[in-house]
Structure 1
Amino acid sequence: MSNPQNTAFNSEHSSKPESIDAASRQAFDSVSQYLQAELEASGGDLSLLAKLNDTSIAKYEGLSRQAQDMLAHAYKIKQTYNEMEAQMVAVDNLVESINNLEKVTRELDKYSLQLEAKFQKLLD
């Protein structure tokens, strides 16, 4: 009852499912490894992006603090300028008064020299 062709057929087909199973397992393992590598790479990318975001946040917080400090200093400078502006006007007025006094002094000196010259003429 055992047919040699039948036995050859059965042994041929019985090894094919094993090779198909092995090939399927190998394909599945390869796809699994590929997907695992992709997930790890994506995870690494996300981790890198998170670090970049954290670094950017820290940098912009530092810049924000610097900008706030600069605004505070600018406000103080403006306040100091406003306080000094009245004093600067007073100094300008004082300089103008001094210039006028110097002019009057020169005129008085000139006039006194003229009077002295006239007095000398009268004495001579």
Structure 2
Amino acid sequence: MTLGVLLLAGALLFVAWLIARFIRTARYPLYGKVILITGGSRGLGLVLARQTCARGGNVAIIARDPDELLRAKTDLVPRGGKVLTVECDLLDAGQTQLAVRKIIDRFGKIDVLINNAGII
């Protein structure tokens, strides 16, 4: 290999490293944000709630089963952030409106909504 090819390869690797670093650090900051996750008591929703808590976000999770909500809260609280669980059947508009009111009463806002219930 010639010196020019090696320099070009090195420059390309350096640019790729810079782009990867920028992407990692330019994520949406969750610290102090309120994230509402439907279906957040298990599966993918719970994984997303864990990640949110780990990044300092406040989590509100909605699910139908109160036992699963309790297990999820027990799992999430030690990970950081504040956690609110709300029992709600999203097919019932009245329950859904009440759930949103509870979340806003507790946190004052909702910054991000992740509609996960019934996805998987």
TM-score normalised per structure 2: 0.31
Per residue, is there more helix in 1 or in 2?
1
Which protein has the bigger strand share?
A: 2
Higher relative contact order (CA 8 A, sep 6+): 2
